Amino acid sequence: MENTRSIYLDYNSTSMIRPQVIKVLIEAHKNFNASSVHQFGVEARRKINLAREIIAESINVDPDGLVFTSGATEANVSIINNSNRRLVVSNIEHDSVLIPSRQKSDTKFIEVDQDGVISIESLYKILKKNNGPYIISTMLVNNETGVIQPIKEIADIAHKHNSLVHCDIVQGFGKIPIDINELGIDYATFSAHKVGGPQGIGGLWIKPGVEFEPLIQGGSQENFRRAGTENISGIIGFAESVKCFSKKETGNILSLRKKLEKELLKVAPVYIFGYNQNRVPNTVYFGNNKITKETQLVSLDLSGIAVSSGSACSSGKVGNSHVLEAMNIESKIMSSAIRVSLGWATKDHEIDYFISKWTDIYCKN
Ligand code: PLP
């Protein structure tokens, strides 16, 4: 970038890759095909298994249940597309869950409240009409608001209604402690590039004994659950990013986020979505009643600051967020909403710089 300052505050879209990961990736590219029976293959297999153990331990699951995929999109679609069960999904899910779910005519959608928390009452209403068997798909943390969802409660209810639970843990992974056994879910999906690992590698965990129909068939890799020569460098880089998880790091990120929120509220009457809810440490999604998100995104970008609107952006146009729509947010606030997401490399002075630039934009418009 040409700017005097380049500040990246869009970690929920993709994290800046960690230097430790770049270092191991350079070596990891030299690996051979893990399916080969010769010494080179055996060594590659050993490295994949070691990476699987490291990643599985970080969410407290048995490594055998963990399948490597090309990312969370593939992992989500594997569950949503390939199940014979009817679907119940929350209406704030990522598109990789929502779009395939909408293609099935009998999918039911769970509502959320004004803070973006999945409504247990709405789930009950759906389940009362029919006793499953369903797959209930609800995310652990919403990628736009950062709000942590009541997954354990959802899993308890689902199991009483003869249903299975899929949880997209992408935006909670590495940000809050996750114990899959405690959550009580049946499938979990996640991704390396949100935690400082490489893009194009993700994970799908399937509870032992639970039904699963592979999306990609044509080889025995991943115990017949995901065919295709493994992305070994991706897998090794993924494990390296997991080794970097630390409470100290997330503690620092939380302090920076709190400072950011405090300063923002001093400048303007901003509306921080899910403010009083349990949220991950790194995400601030806020609206105001004065300037549009387009003006903010462009002006911030010109100052060298990268943030995003929560929703997907195509051909320069920023649409309304389906998450804010689901939360019934007033349209003026919704059209001004931008998401700032911090990460492992975020520095105190970057928050100061963001605040000073955002203040200028707010006051001049
Ligand atoms: N699920 C959530 C909640 C996400 O935020 C993302 C990334 O944007 C995905 C799934 C897709 O992950 P990937 O980029 O690994 O396909």
Tell whether 234 and 264 lie within a shared domain.
no
Ligand 1 closest atom vs CA 201: 15
Q: Is residue 77 located within the same domain as residue 34?
A: no
Same domain, 76 and 101: yes
Supply the pLDDT for residue 129: 86
- Render pLDDT for 217-239 as a digit per residue (tens, 0 to 9): 999 999 999 999 999 999 999 99
179 and 82 co-located in one domain: yes
Whichever domain contains 102, its CATH number is 3.40.640.10
The H or E element spanning position 135 is: strand 134-137
| pLDDT at 3 exceeding the cut of 60 | no
Does 44 reside within a domain?
Answer: yes
Residue 179 sits in the same domain as residue 145: yes
Residue 59 structural domain: 19-67+215-243
Residues lining ligand 1, Cβ inside 6 A: 71-73, 76, 94, 96, 139, 143, 168, 170-171, 191, 202
Task: Tell me if 2 is assigned to some domain.
Answer: no
Classify residue 184 by its DSSP letter.
T
Question: Which residue's CA lies nearest to atom 7 of ligand 1?
Answer: 13
* Per-residue model confidence (pLDDT) at position 132: 74
Does 228 share its domain with 266? Answer: no
Do 230 and 160 share a structural domain? Answer: no
Q: Is the residue at 162 inside a domain?
A: yes
Q: Looking at per-residue confidence, does 121 or 365 come out higher?
A: 121
Shared domain check, 349 and 262:
yes
Q: How many domains does the chain have?
A: 3
Q: Is residue 117 part of a domain?
A: yes
> Once rounded to an integer, what is the mean pLDDT over residues 180-184?
97
Q: Are residues 328 and 351 in the same domain?
A: yes
Q: Percent of the chain beyond pLDDT 90?
A: 93
Which of 156, 191, 226 is the endpoint of a domain? 191
pLDDT class for 5, splitting at 50, 70, 90?
A: confident
For the residues 150-167, what does the mean pLDDT come to?
97
Residue 314: its pLDDT value, please?
A: 46
Q: Whose CA is nearest to atom 16 of ligand 1?
A: 73
Q: Is residue 126 part of a domain?
A: yes
Domain-embedded: residue 264: yes
Q: How confident is residue 149, by pLDDT bands cut at 50, 70 and 90?
A: very high
Can you name the residues that pair with 308 across neighbouring β-strands? 339
Within-domain flag for 34: yes
- Per-residue pLDDT tens digits for 36-93: 999 999 999 999 999 999 999 999 999 999 999 999 999 999 999 999 999 999 999 9
Q: Are 285 and 359 within one domain?
A: yes
pLDDT at 170: 98
- Model-level pTM? 0.96
| 94/84 Cα distance (integer angstroms) | 21
| Residue 250, in any domain of the structure | yes
Any idea what the CATH number is for the domain that residue 261 is in? 3.90.1150.10
Q: What is the mean pLDDT of the chain?
A: 95
What is the model's pLDDT at position 310?
Answer: 79
Residues 333 and 296 in one domain: yes
User: Looking at residues 22-32, what average pLDDT do you find?
Assistant: 97
Residue 269 has pLDDT above 90, yes or no: yes
pLDDT at residue 4 in the model? 59
For 74, which DSSP code? H
Instruction: Kindly write down the DSSP assignment for every residue of 88-107, as one continuous string.
Output: EEETTS-HHHHHHHHTSTT-
Per-residue pLDDT, 1? 46
Tell me: do 219 and 276 sit in the same domain: no
Q: What is the DSSP string of 283-333?
A: EEEEE-SSS-HHHHHHHHHHTTEE-B-SS-EETTEE---HHHHHTT--HHH
Encode pLDDT of 283-322 as tens digits.
999 999 999 999 999 999 999 999 999 765 544 557 889 9
Kindly give the number of the ligand 1 atom that is closest to the alpha carbon of 200: 15
Whether 313 is catalytic: yes
